[in-house]
Every structure is written in structure tokens, then in C-alpha cells.
Structure 1
Amino acid sequence: MAQARPGDLLLFSAGMQKCVRSLLGKLRLQCAELLECPGMAVRNPSAFHFLWVVDFPLFLPKEQDPGQLDSAHPPFTAPLPEDTHLLYSQPHSVSLGTYL
């Protein structure tokens, strides 16, 4: 658990995961731009910070009907082998296995 200190900003969000993540990503970029306007260095354009993203979801809730699922990737992608047993019972828990 993060330890908040005076001066820290904590953001809480609720809603559909896809929408919330998109909005928080835009908010992060907007905050960086606002901080850089008065001259505070927030981002270093010459630095690379690599990361490895894992556990992409195979399906996401439809925006218009969260009870239904949409494919989150092209139809030729496959689930993680250890998640195949979840395809019919818990499809929202299946992760993508293509990029491994």
C-alpha cells in the first residue's frame, strides 16, 4: 500500500475499466503539461523508461452494454494456455497469450 505524505495527490476512479484507464492516461499527460508550463521538469524526452506489459485481457466489456464482451484484439489472437478453461465460464478473466 502506498504511503501518502503531505503534498501527494491521490486519485480514485470508478467506472468501466476501459473508459477509466483512458481518462486517467489523458489526465496524466495533461498534468505533466500543466506542470511543465511554469518550468518544472517532469518528463525527460531523451530518457527511455522501458517496461514489459503482461496479462493483456482477451475480452473487454462493451461500452454500450457492459454485460456483453467485445474482443480486445484481432480475431487471430489466442488466450494464454492456462486460461483456456475459463473461455466459457469466465471469459472476462482470460488473458492474451499472443505476445509472449
Structure 2
Amino acid sequence: MLKNKQRSYLRSLSNKMDPIFRVGKEGITDNFLKQVDEALEARELIKLAILKNSFYTAREASDAICKELKCDGVQCIGSKFVLYRESKKKPRIELPQV
């Protein structure tokens, strides 16, 4: 569980990021979750977008993915959301201590 200071730090890191995945009309499939899981392991912090033809809102998609992959939702704004999970093999992002 992220603290407010840590969440704020991760939001600042994600400001200039572009979404690397988009949730569309097919929704959140097993293959999609596998790709997001691999990206979280490699990058730790990723931004995703919701397409207009999706049946999910950004908050719903973020909650569903976080539940499945045991990651933290950092931010949801409009049709974009940011996820974070510390890498098990090689952590890259050092969170501020609270």
C-alpha cells in the first residue's frame, strides 16, 4: 500500500510518460494481463489508456488490473491511469521513506 508522499512521487514520474497499453472493446483478457504483468516487472511504473469503445472506465479497469496483478493504482485522470509494482528481480524506482 502506497503512502501519500510515495504516490505523489510516482505521479511526478509518470507525468511525461505515454500510455504503453490501451484497453479497448475486448476488455481485460488473460493475454492483456500477461503483457501488463511483464511490463510492470520490467518498468515498475506504467501508464495505460482506455479507448472510447471500451466498456470500462479508467477507475474500473485500474481496480480490475490491480486486483489480478497485485499492483497499486497510482492515479486515474480522464481516460488514463498509472500502475506501480516493485520489481521482484531488479527494483529501479526508489520510493521516498515515510
Coarse TM-score class (shorter-chain normalised): under 0.3
User: When you count helix as a share of all residues, which structure comes out higher?
Assistant: 2
TM-score w.r.t. length of structure 1:
0.25
TM-score by length of 2: 0.25
Structure having the higher Rg: 1
Between 1 and 2, higher relative CO (CA 8 Å, sep ≥ 6) is seen in: 2
